[in-house]
Amino acid sequence: MPRTVAPLARKKRVPRNRPDTRIEQGLRARGYSLIAGVDEVGRGCLFGPVVAAAVILDPRHPVRGLNDSKRLDAESRRVLSGRIHERAIAVSVAAVDNAQVDRVNIYQASRLAMQAAVLGLDPAAAALVVDALTLDVAIPQKSIVKADATSSSVAAASIVAKVERDRWMEEWDIVFPEYGLASNKGYGSPVHLAALEVHGPTPLHRMSFKPVADCACFGPQPDSRVSLPLGV
User: In the structure, what pLDDT confidence band is assigned to residue 231 with cuts at 50, 70 and 90?
Assistant: very low
Q: How many CA atoms lie within 13 A of 44 on its CB side?
A: 4
Res. 139: pLDDT tops 50? yes
Within a domain: 203: no
Q: Give the chain's end-to-end CA distance (angstroms, integer).
A: 75
User: What pLDDT does 196 receive?
Assistant: 97
Within a domain: 85: yes
Describe the strand order of the beta sheet including 90-96 as a list of residue ranges.
90-96, 50-56, 35-41, 127-131, 141-144
User: What pLDDT does 216 receive?
Assistant: 79
Predicted structure pTM score: 0.86
Res. 57: pLDDT tops 90? yes
Within a domain: 15: no
Q: 163: helix, coil or strand?
A: helix
Within a domain: 219: no
User: In the structure, what pLDDT confidence band is assigned to residue 3 with cuts at 50, 70 and 90?
Assistant: very low
Within a domain: 129: yes
Within a domain: 197: no
User: What pLDDT does 53 receive?
Assistant: 98
Q: How far apart are CA 139 and CA 124, in angstroms?
A: 10
Which residue intervals of the chain are DSSP H helices?
A: 22-29, 74-87, 98-104, 106-119, 152-175, 181-184, 190-199, 210-213
**What type of residue is 157?**
A
Number of compact structural domains in the chain = 1
For the domain that residue 118 is a member of, what is the CATH number? 3.30.420.10
Question: Dihedral sign, CA of 21, 26, 29, 35?
Answer: negative
Burial 131-155 (b: 16+ CB within 10 A, else e): bebebebebebbebeebbbbbbbbb
- In this prediction, what percent of the chain has a pLDDT beyond 70? 86
User: In the structure, what pLDDT confidence band is assigned to residue 217 with cuts at 50, 70 and 90?
Assistant: low
Query: Tens digits of per-residue pLDDT, 146-183?
Result: 999 999 999 999 999 999 999 999 999 999 999 999 99
Crossing angle for the helix pair 74-87 and 152-175, to the nearest 10 degrees: 120
Residue 83, burial from CB neighbour count under 10 angstroms (0-12, 13-18, 19+)? middle
Within a domain: 136: yes
Please tell me what DSSP assigns to residue 17.
Answer: S
Q: How far apart are CA 156 and CA 21, in angstroms?
A: 11
| Count of beta carbons in the 10 Å neighbourhood of residue 90 | 17
Within a domain: 69: yes
Q: Which residues form the domain of 154?
A: 22-172
Query: Tens digits of per-residue pLDDT, 4-52?
Result: 333 334 444 445 578 999 999 999 999 999 999 999 999 999 999 999 9
User: What pLDDT does 120 receive?
Assistant: 98
User: In the structure, what pLDDT confidence band is assigned to residue 187 with cuts at 50, 70 and 90?
Assistant: very high
Question: Are 21 and 203 spatial neighbours (Cβ–Cβ below 8 Å)?
Answer: no
